[in-house]
Amino acid sequence: MRSRNPVFSREGSFTRDNQYAGFGTQTAGQPGQQAYGNPYAGHQGAGQPPLTDEQLAGMYEAPSAGPLQTGRMTMDDVVARTAMTLLTLVAFGAVAWFTVPMDNFAPAIGAALVAMVIGLVVSFKRSVNPGLILAYAALEGFFLGAISKAFETFWPGIAIQAVLGTSAVFAATLFAYKSGRIRVTPRYTRIGISIAIGFVLLMLVNVVAMAFGADFGLRSGPLGILVGLVGIALGAFFLTLDYAEIEEGIRMGAPEKEAWRAAFGLTLSLVWIYMEMLRLIAILRGDD
């Protein structure tokens, strides 16, 4: 299965082409290698005695190697790496909350730009680099902490409301996915990606228009509420793609290190939802 999610769709991510642990190809006839069709090849070479009944019984009774022994990714790996990434994001968000002055957003904007560059590098890099992923989380968290504090000055309590709203969306999409109410099919993916591309292009046009003094009202009033709801729905859509790709990676025996890629994808989706939630709540509480 090849995902449309840019975090997971690169060559060498969650596919068999990457030769996951336990799926590596072996060439027949090479010395020292074991043929898949004969589990005892290599044990009875020239000059070696045949296996005894006790040895054969021990081989059959021995437990099979699990994910830990084969180095494959497990759900526990994904949860642990995601927790580390999100804790890094929250920690640096707290730093920005208490240190960035409201009259100087240059550090926060700089952090956001660097985070964007790192995010693109991680998204298109074939190998997984945990350091880059944690660096992205730190810089993105710093920006979110500063922007959340700015929103808080106008709408007290909005940050915790956005956090609760993001958590609710995460829980709801996870429940809907695990219960089968949402199925990630090729058609579902194509429609969602098409809407996401249109949404991003519309937002870019709006930003350019605002730079020249025009305002289409996409972030205010009733239209702003509709745009905010669409943005949150798209974030939920990306989460379902993340869930599907994580399950696929575990089923196909992805290397343990791929858990970092899964954590990065989930973090991107949650950051998207949080930002849209902030904007939507601000509009609902009074866009002034």
Q: Give residue 102's pLDDT.
A: 84
User: Encoding tokens for residue 36?
Assistant: 């898949």
Global pTM value? 0.76
Residue 192's Cβ-count burial label (10 Å; 0-12, 13-18, 19+) is: buried
Tell me which of 226 and 12 has the higher pLDDT. Answer: 226
Compute the distance between CA of residue 125 and CA of residue 70 in angstroms, rounded to an integer. Answer: 24
Question: What pLDDT, in 10s, does the model give residues 77-112?
Answer: 999 999 999 999 999 999 999 999 888 889 999 999
Residues near 180 by beta carbon (within 8 Å), at least 6 away in sequence: none
Question: What pLDDT, in 10s, does the model give residues 135-155?
Answer: 999 999 999 999 999 999 999
Percent of the chain past pLDDT 90, that is, above it, reads 61
